[in-house]
Amino acid sequence: MQKGSVAIIGCGWLGFRLALKLLSDGYTVYGTTTHKDKLTELEAAGIKASVLKLPVVDFQASTKTIDTKPVEHLTSHAPHPYWSADQLVINIPPNRKDPASAKTYPAAVLSALLSYRRNQPSGRIIFTSSIGVYGKDHGRAIDRGTRIAIENPSERQASLLLAESQVQAQSQRPHRILRLGGLYGGSRDPKKWFAGREIPRPNDPINLVSREEVIEEITRLLDEPFWVGESVYNVVGTEHPRRGEYYG
């Protein structure tokens, strides 16, 4: 049974597996990658794949809503099919290895929003954010509805918060912002992260989530005919052992 179309902006470690699940469920799936050499793999799986490198600008992260007029040039006017999909998943996490991405990341998210808004009058948007918005030292076990006061945010926190605020203010579409816990699954084993090293904050609870759990949550949202309730929430596993016990 054909369920409609979904565009996944960012078919990497999470996005590719999500695409496979949606294809098996009967969706038409568009997927983008920044690497041309990945196109063959995506297309072989049945994904309508394209190379997309979102336009970015270098501006200081802030919590102010950005007016669309100065940034209209960020988006392509070419009517790419993925910008007209019934539903859009923006899955482009900041590059932890590139300090400059904290400034360019919100612009990349905004350019995706504007492109979709221009081409799809009635679609829905899911944005995968991170519990990184709460920082590292809060020392709390996070569940779906946890909210932690954010004071003196780091550059990375401010970047995530700005990207989220743009989804809320600029999408002009039904949207959901999923703050994902620390991701693991497949070859990504979190117990290897601190192998041979001292474990910081050993008494803090962990806040991880498996790739399968995230895919299940996104799939559930895409399948729902109507979205009700909160638009921003955390997607985190239910187990919260102490960091020292888990990683040790």
pLDDT of residue 99: 66
- DSSP characters over the chain: ----EEEEE--STTHHHHHHHHHHHT-EEEEEES-GGGHHHHHHTT-EEEE-----------SSPPPSGGGGGGS--S--GGGGSSEEEE-----TT-TTHHHHHHHHHHHHHHHHHHH-SS-EEEEEEEGGGG-S-------TT------S--HHHHHHHHHHHHHHHH--S-EEEEEE-EEEBTTB-GGGTTTTSPPSSTTSBP-EEEHHHHHHHHHHHHH-SS--S-SEEEE--S---BHHHHH-
The pLDDT, as a whole number, for residue 69 is 40
Q: What is the mean pLDDT of residues 93-102?
A: 73
Give the pLDDT of residue 1. 62
Average pLDDT rounded to a whole number, residues 95-102: 70
- Confidence at residue 233, expressed as pLDDT on a 0 to 100 scale: 98
Q: What is the pTM of this model?
A: 0.90
Check pLDDT > 70 for residue 5.
yes
- What pLDDT is stored for residue 103 in this prediction? 79
- Percent over 90 (pLDDT), the chain: 73
**Per-residue confidence band for 57, with pLDDT thresholds at 50, 70 and 90:** very low
Answer yes or no: is pLDDT of 59 > 60.
Answer: no
Summarised one tens digit per residue, pLDDT across range 36-55 is 999 999 999 999 999 998 87
**How confident is residue 79, by pLDDT bands cut at 50, 70 and 90?**
low
What is the mean predicted confidence (pLDDT) over 53-77? 46
Q: What is the set of domains in the chain, with CATH numbers?
A: 5-247 (3.40.50.720)
Q: With bands split at pLDDT 50, 70 and 90, how would you rate the model's confidence at 102? A: confident
In this prediction, residue 198 has a pLDDT band, given cuts at 50, 70 and 90, of: confident
